[in-house]
A = this chain, B = another copy of it.
Amino acid sequence: MPQANDSYHHGDLRAACLRAARELLEEDGSAGLSLRAVARRAGVSATAPYRHYADRDALVSSVAAEGYRELAGYLTAAHPAPATPDDLTAVAVAYVRFALDHPALFRVMFAEPCDPGNEERVEATAALSEYVRGIVRGTFPDADPDALSTTVWALVHGLAFLHLDGKLDASTPEVVADQVRTAVHALFTASPVVSQAATAQPERARA
């Protein structure tokens, strides 16, 4: 049973490190996320975190994995079981809102190629990817789920990143939401074409 005492043994350093990392990320951005700062905030010596994380990257990957799960929470909260294009649009809006609510975290999640060695991270991203594909499959049964989910994910992901880079008008959340709705709506009116194009292209990859 973990306890955050002031005794020699912390009790649950692993969780405390994660929490401290999240706080530092929100306060100073990814620049302030140092292993030593995490240790300081957790009230522990600089090298103690190495008992729970192989290196800095492992910690960051854990933070990223937590971010993926939180993002999934945003999406399911927007609509628990999306079945119509409007439902899917609501999910898309939630995706961009998550990015704007947690900009530093979102950047960390996609800053580097996902380390294939980190099981927790791979699992979290796979779950998210599968979740998106599932929604698309349910919403557009006639479309190629892979192709369409890729397209819609890319569109929403791109909107999120352009917003993070300040390249789009993000004055109010409503402006952002409208932008996302407009863009996604444009895609959906063409969804039958996506289906058709994806299934009628035999010359995809010969290698």
Stretch with Cβ within 8 A of B (4 or more), from A17-25, A35-43, A168-176: A168-176
Distance in Å from the Cβ of A153 to the closest Cβ of chain B? Answer: 7
Complex alpha-carbon distance, A172 and B151, angstroms: 19
Cα distance A161–B153 when bound, in Å?
Answer: 11
Report if A2 contacts B (CB, 8 A). Answer: no
**Do A114 and B165 touch across chains, with their CB atoms under 8 A apart?**
yes
**Is A185 interfacial (CB 8 A cutoff)?**
yes
With contacts A172-B205, A190-B190 known, is A162 near B166, CB below 8 A?
Answer: no
Q: How far is the CB of A180 from chain B (nearest CB, A)?
A: 9
Chain A residues numbered 118-143 whose CB sits less than 8 Å from any CB in chain B: 125, 129
Q: Mark A170-207, 1 if CB is under 8 A from B, else 0.
A: 01101100110011011111110110011001001101
Copies in the complex: 2
Report the Cα distance A201→B175, complex, angstroms.
12
Q: Complex formed: what's the CA distance from A182 to B144 in Å?
A: 11
Residue of B nearest to A31 (CB): B112
Q: Do A159 and B154 have beta carbons less than 8 Å apart?
A: yes
A16 close to chain B: CB less than 8 A? no
Q: Which of A107, A129, A157 has the most CB of B within 10 A?
A: A157
Given A158-B154, A162-B157; A171-B205 close (CB under 8 Å)? yes
The answer to whether A187 and B185 touch across the interface, beta carbons within 8 angstroms, is no
Q: Which residues of B contact A197 (CB under 8 A)?
A: 182, 185-186
Minimum Cβ distance to chain B for residue A207 (Å): 5
Q: How far is the CB of A143 from chain B (nearest CB, A)?
A: 10
9 closest A-B pairs by beta carbon, nearest first, are A158-B158, A154-B158, A157-B158, A190-B190, A151-B183, A154-B159, A186-B194, A189-B190, A155-B155
